[in-house]
Structure 1
Amino acid sequence: MQKLNVTEINKTDEKYVVACKHTLSEEEIQGIKAGERMLVDSDGLAFVYILEDASQFYYLAFEQNSWSELYEAYKTELLLVVELGNNNLIELSQLHAELDFLLENIEGNSNYGEELETAVREVFLKTVE
């Protein structure tokens, strides 16, 4: 498992492009594909999108400092892609559906921890109440 930290999310005309900090070679990047699932890192206050190749998983970590941009992309339902180098874009397929599921489960669920639940509510659930 290798962790890739999101550094920024930029909007273009028709999509959001996620940039991340990584040390992957061009050869490694070529084999990576979307894992189509997300996890939550309660201790690190992060949403984690799974990328994978034939031999391992890569955790694309959307830490709390990227949540405002992630929320904008989520509410507009525009395509999100991660750029891993030299215009190699990978669609983060199922991200909206996975985020729907996680947000629904986090709200009012103490299993995720009060700090995460409060932080998620402040950014993602502010218009739901």
Structure 2
Amino acid sequence: MSNKIKINHIEWKSDQLLMYSDDKSGTQKSLTATGRVLADSDDLAFIYILETEQEYVYISIPSDYWIDLKKVMEGNHEVILHIHNETIILEGILEELQYLISNIEGNSNYGTEMVDKVEQIFLAPKNV
């Protein structure tokens, strides 16, 4: 993944999850949301795919922020990326995460560490 940018800060504003990266490399061209998410078992992250006219840009959401993604899923909140002076709504992220999580559950093809982390965060019963 040559154009991989890691999220390193998030904040909640009202009912929106705002994601930031201080990455200065990468493209300065207009980015478009694709609505696609991949699992990165090696780095314990979910990857949201953006695109320009010429390339894909991979936004890495490390497991440090998965608790917030779970909150997004539970409340059907909007996720907004702020990067390179652009604001991009990460369309389709909820549906993609739900699909990925259901595929990862108990699936050793993703690696033990990824499966354990996903199950611990997304599939653990809520505290009563």
TM-score (norm 1): 0.89
- Cα shift readout 1:41-90 (whole Å, capped 9, x = no counterpart): 1111110000110011111001111212222222211110100144x210
- Per-residue deviation, residues 74-125 of structure 1 (Å, max 9, x unmatched): 2211110100144x21000000000010000000111111110001111111
> Structure 2 regions of 5+ residues with no counterpart?
none
- CA RMSD, 1 decimal: 1.7
**Hey, what's the Cα distance between the residues in 2 that align with 1:66 and 1:77?**
16
CA distance in 1, matches of 2:73, 2:20: 16
> Whole-Å Cα distance in 1 between the matches of residues 105 and 15 of structure 2?
30
Give 1:15 deviation, angstroms: 1.2
Whichever residue aligns with residue 28 of structure 1, its letter is Q
Mapped to 1, the partners of 2:125 and 2:56 lie a distance apart of: 34
In structure 1, list runs of 5 or more residues that go unmatched: none
Q: 2:112 matched to which residue of 1?
A: 114
TM value normalised by structure 2: 0.89
Q: Following superposition of structure 1 onto structure 2, how do residues 40-55 of structure 1 map, counting pairs within 5 Å?
A: 40-55=39-54
Looking at structure 2, the residues matched to 4 and 72 of structure 1 have their Cα atoms a distance apart, in angstroms, of: 23
Partner of 1:102: 100
Partner in structure 2 of residue 37 of structure 1: 36
Q: How many residues align?
A: 125
Q: Identity across aligned pairs (percent)? A: 30
> Following superposition, which runs of at least 4 residues in structure 1 exceed 3 angstroms of deviation?
none
The CA deviation at 1:24 is 4.7
Letter aligned with residue 8 of structure 2: T
1:8 aligns with 2:9: yes
Partner of 2:28: helix, strand, or coil? Answer: helix
